[in-house]
Structure 1
Amino acid sequence: MEVPEHRALLGVDVVGSTRNEGYHLDTVRAAVDGMVRAALATAGVGRSDVVEWEPTGDGALLTLSSRRLGAVLDAAHHLDGSAAEHNRHRKPDIRLRLAVEVGPVGPRPGLYAAKIALCRLLDAPAFKELVARCAGAATALIVSDGVLRAAFGGDYTRHVRRTDFAPLAVRDKEFSATAWVRVPGYDTRAPQPGPTGTPPAGHGRVVNVVNGSFYGVQAGDVHGGIHLGVPPPR
């Protein structure tokens, strides 16, 4: 048997959709579909590049030509702008979790390994927790290591950059991997809170910016003198 052609996969899921009232479901689904179609078109992805579009409740799983991988990542960038614009003018708010994977996918619908990996990335608890912490973000994108290496092995994107991504260890059921995440407007490279909600030991830092005299300070690294309780000598 021949190995199926490699495809780019885009997974889209609405954050907190179960909290929406029933009468909003069709509205949200139609809005998300419209956003995805518009984002792909803006990124230069034509209809012929979309091999399959599978509805997944309030989201979708798209199979696309792998040669359009860079454009798929740029489409995620455009989706962020569309969702943010929607949320400024319409209710309910729409926040999206996005995932991109690449791998062999056959010509008929089915459970291919690449599609399973995409779903594991999208549903990974670590990714959902990150999205919850970035509560003001319109979208969050997670990609596999293979996608990162393929997309940024050359000049294949217009808007998304390699430096936008930070590593995230993910685990979902039997799946575990180091994935890469991008949340526009948030520094995902910053230390993440531990299980108790406090920063892991060794990563806490207090930064003080002071204009004028100040005689009490909390600091991580200190360069120079600190004077407590009395004015500094003149």
Structure 2
Amino acid sequence: MLLQARCRGGVVHIVSRDSGWVQMGFAYVFCHLSKDQKDTEDQCLVLLMYLEEYNNLRLEFRSRISLEGGQQQSGGHLWWKGALLPDGHFEEFDEDCAFLIQYHSRDSSCDPIDAMFTYNFKDIDTISQDLGIPWKLKKDIPFSSSFPFTGLLWNLQTRSISLSPEKREKYIATIHDWLATNVHILSDIQSLYRKLLHTTRVIPMGRAYLTNLEKFLTIAYDRPFLP
């Protein structure tokens, strides 16, 4: 694993092959410790052994951004234009890659696992405290190949996703409440539909079974309190 991306209160991991950077485009949305990004708390953890390689890649990104036009604006969205891709679109970066990733882990005491990366939770906490940025520390999630994100459990080893136990219990309770009565109003329909729709990320074929609920939503839309 080359990169692990984390967000305060959550974590997303980025996997790569030894021969290249798989999903590097996904990494663009994560910011690095040396600069503040727009409306994102996500961070990108780089294994120390790949720091030089990754910074060289950032230099390439910086060069392409500079040559292709730099900062762009699409409506309220700011982005940085990179090279032309084979499909006719341009690379889109969320920054200009002006700064290189720094090695912070040597500045704090940490366990052997954290020492493998360029920075760790303690470094983030120290800098955040200096900047006056509050975090909900109780929501921190240790780095792992299996982690919760967007209400799902993501397992990189098995390349699978599943509902968390908490979500399963919550969704089952909603289904039981629905079955307990034959009368429902719009808010009941919306609540059940949202939960079942979320489960289709795990079981895509379940999407086909939601059509009747969708029809129900249409009928009740302008009559929210009519059973």
Which TM-score band (shorter chain)? under 0.3
Q: TM-score scaled by structure 2?
A: 0.26
Q: TM-score scaled by structure 1?
A: 0.25
